[in-house]
């Protein structure tokens, strides 16, 4: 479309510059010739402005297509089931810790080259024993 319009404008300008049509028996041939040149130049200028990108409509920018997707399905994990086991009543052996404190007499003696007189000293003895106990049934 634009090419055809440009060719038409150039053709009209070329025809207006031909001296034979401007000089065909007119006493004012020179004045008419320059009037034709002015009209052709005006048409070429106006055509150039109409065909320039300044007067072209702005390009249409289409919005990107919106993809409508279903929301993701999220499944919750199954609940944790705590299977408990019943332990019946029974006897168990248990350690019973025992701490004993005693005051004992320590005789006088030499220690590192020094004489240590006799004295009472507290002595701690840790120990304990095993015993059998009855345990009621319970869930584990």
Closest of 38, 44, 45, 54 to residue 7, by C-alpha: 44
pLDDT tens over the chain, length 140 residues: 667 777 777 777 676 666 555 555 566 655 667 777 788 888 878 777 776 655 556 778 887 777 778 888 888 888 888 788 999 999 999 999 999 999 999 999 999 999 999 999 999 999 999 999 999 999 88
Shared domain check, 90 and 47: no
Determine the Cα–Cα distance for residues 3 and 129; give it in Å rounded to an integer: 114
Domain for residue 40, yes or no?
yes
pTM over 0.75: no
The whole domain housing 10 covers: 2-51
Query: What are the CA-CA distances from residue 135 to residues 87, 90, 130, 131 (Å)?
Result: 10, 5, 15, 12
List phi, psi (to 5°) of 37. -65, -40
Give the length of the chain.
Answer: 140
| Cα-based angle 50, 55, 61 (whole degrees, multiple of 5) | 135
Domain for residue 59, yes or no?
no
Domain for residue 69, yes or no?
no
Determine the Cα–Cα distance for residues 38 and 48; give it in Å rounded to an integer: 15
Element (H, E) at 27: none
Shared domain check, 135 and 92: yes
Count of domains observed in the chain = 2
Domain for residue 132, yes or no?
yes
| Cα-based angle 119, 123, 127 (whole degrees, multiple of 5) | 165
């Amino acid at each position: 479309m634009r090419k055809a319009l440009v060719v038409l404008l150039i053709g009209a300008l070329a025809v207006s510059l031909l001296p034979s049509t401007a000089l065909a028996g007119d006493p004012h041939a020179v004045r008419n010739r320059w009037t034709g040149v002015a009209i052709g130049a005006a048409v070429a200028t106006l055509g150039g402005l109409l065909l320039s990108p300044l007067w072209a409509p702005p390009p249409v920018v289409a919005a990107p297509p919106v993809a409508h997707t279903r929301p993701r399905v999220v499944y919750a994990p199954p609940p944790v089931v705590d299977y408990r086991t019943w332990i019946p009543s029974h006897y168990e052996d248990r350690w019973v810790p025992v701490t004993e404190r005693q005051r004992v007499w320590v005789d006088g003696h030499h220690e590192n080259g020094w004489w240590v007189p006799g004295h009472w000293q507290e002595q701690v003895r840790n120990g304990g024993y095993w015993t059998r106990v009855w345990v009621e049934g319970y869930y584990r």
